[in-house]
Amino acid sequence: MPAPKEFLEYVDNKADLFIQRLSDAVAIKSVSSDPQCRSEVIKMSNWIKDQFSAVGVDTELRDLGKQNLGGEELPLPPAVLGRLGNDPTKKTVLVYGHFDVQPANLSDGWGTEPFKLVIKENGQLVGRGSSDDKGPVLGWLNILQYHHECKKELPVNFRCCFEGMEESGSEGLDDLVKRESQSGGWFDSVDCVCISDNYWLNTRTPAITYGLRGLAYFKLMVSGPARDLHSGVFGRMVHEPMTDLVILMSKLVDVNGHILVPGVDEMVSAADVEERKMYEGLDYSIADVDSAVGASTTLSSDIVEVLMGRMRMPSLSLHGIEGAFYGTGAKTVIPAKVIGKFSIRLVPPQTPDNVEPLVRKYIESEFAKLGSKNTCVLEPEHGGKPWVGDINHWNYEAAKAATRAVYGREPDMTREGGSIPVTLTFAESLGVNVLLLPMGRGDDGAHSTNEKLDRSNFIEGTKLLGTYLYEIAALKK
Ligand SMILES: C[C@H](N)C(=O)N[C@@H](Cc1c[nH]cn1)C(=O)O
Ligand SMILES: [Zn+2]
Ligand SMILES: [Zn+2]
């Protein structure tokens, strides 16, 4: 059952209105990691609830309790649950997305104010969250608006779960998903899950994604002096926390991306010929990476090696150091306490539980080798397990058919390097197939400066998600 022509035309006709609504969403500064923005994330929960209610969805805000952030107790933004339709002859599709975003400041290097959506002449919609993940969440809303306004029945029973803590570990969500998956819960009798919260590999080929890496995020604290010190007065008199920390952090990963924590890379088996062939078949080149990155810095000139680095290998990234001097000027300080932030993206069979002890043992032994009198504490932050889905399932057939119908071509079948920890929770607690159907392109700059979503990806992406629901309905129950 193809999507009705009327639906596709409606989406084209309402494009400007949809973009205005995306602009309203981007203007809400829903940065989940910033305590100062927590009220904005909560405002976003309410905004999403109101928007989906207005197009006929039965919605509820679900309290997720409190979060302890650096000693401060903060209310968690409520999750938004929605349901529409309960026809036993139809399939029931659960969609997930998030309405929180990564931090963004003009001073990070943005060309325009990050929380004001700018429509560029080349069709790029620039603003934090445009691609990750407000655009895709609003894609679902656009579809529902058509059915509500034009009094058309949805081809499936619709369920949704939107959260405001994805960028900060999805605190509280796992329990909610498990509860609602039980008999009588809002997700009872869900047949499949669709998540639109990642990106095509390149800028031209639509993708369907069947894997995500997991994550183990760590804070490494080194402290010593009771207060910050003058480096002219105390330099070469005391062990300096920053020196210890930089040495430790330099021992985590080498310049070629090899993880130096013994046992971590070794957990992953090498790809065989068949698997390599799969990566060779993807529409991706070193030039695509260079253009998305804005520099020629790939770890290898072999695109298959580069792709495998993202899709089927773990990676360790150093993110920053809290407490270190970073401003302009030349402050001659010895910071008393510094906290290094790093994370490891995980692939099967790795989990935060089997990787963390390896990291702890290694850090303890490397710190002991320094002979420093400072104190070193490793603290695991949020994490999540990797996920790989079953591509031989009708859910994937429906997504492929929708891609062909909207884009007139075969999708790249990808594994995503990023993480959406709740994906595995959906798969395990519902026992149904999960897929990712991305809206944005590989150069959208998610988490980066000047994040954008191309107008065509927003509009055609809305058609894709809608067509996917019709293709699901075309399958036999
Ligand atoms: C892939 C998804 N859009 C995403 O960006 N996920 C984040 C999740 C996260 C974990 N800690 C902070 N954010 C990611 O992969 O980094
Ligand atoms: Zn996201
Ligand atoms: Zn993200």
**Tens of pLDDT along 334-382?**
999 999 999 999 999 999 999 999 999 999 999 999 999 999 999 999 9
Active site positions, annotated: 100, 166
Query: Closest Cα partner for 437 from 408, 473, 413, 471?
Result: 413
CATH fold for the domain made of 215-268+313-384:
Alpha-Beta Plaits (3.30.70)
**Whether the Cβ atoms of residue 440 and residue 199 lie closer than 8 Å to each other:** yes
Mutate to test the pocket of ligand 1, among 166, 196, 198 (most ligand atoms within 8 A of CB): 166
Rounded to the nearest whole angstrom, what is the distance from the C-alpha of residue 473 to the centroid of ligand 2? 27
Start-end of CATH 3.30.70.360 domains in the chain:
215-268+313-384
pLDDT digits (tens, 9 = 90+) for 132-181: 999 999 999 999 999 999 999 999 999 999 999 999 999 999 999 999 99
Where, residue-wise, is CATH 3.40.630.10 in the chain? 5-213+386-474
Cβ of 343 closer than 6 Å to ligand 1, yes or no, is: no
Please, what is the Cα angle at 316 between 269 and 299, to 5 degrees? 80
72 or 1, which is more confident:
72
Of 442, 441, 440, 437, the closest CA to residue 389 belongs to 437
Element (H, E) at 9: helix 5-13
Q: In what order do the strands lie in the sheet with 337-346?
A: 315-322, 337-346, 214-223, 375-384
Instruction: Report pLDDT for 477.
Output: 52
Q: What is the mean pLDDT of the chain?
A: 97
Q: What is the CATH number of domain 5-213+386-474?
A: 3.40.630.10
Question: Is the sign of the CA dihedral 370, 341, 314, 351 positive or negative?
Answer: positive
The ligand 1 atom at the shortest distance from the C-alpha of residue 419 is: 15
Distance CA 14, CA 268 (A): 48
Say how many Å lie between the CA of residue 167 and the centre of ligand 2: 7
Tell me: pLDDT of 112 over 80. yes
- CB-based contact 168:32 (threshold 8 Å): yes
User: Is the CB of residue 102 below 6 angstroms from any atom belonging to ligand 1?
Assistant: no
ipTM of the complex as predicted: 0.98
How many residues appear in the chain? 477
Residue 69 pLDDT level (bands cut at 50, 70, 90): confident
Helix residue spans in 294-351 (DSSP H): 303-311
Name the residue at shortest CA distance from atom 5 of ligand 1: 418
- DSSP code for 142: H
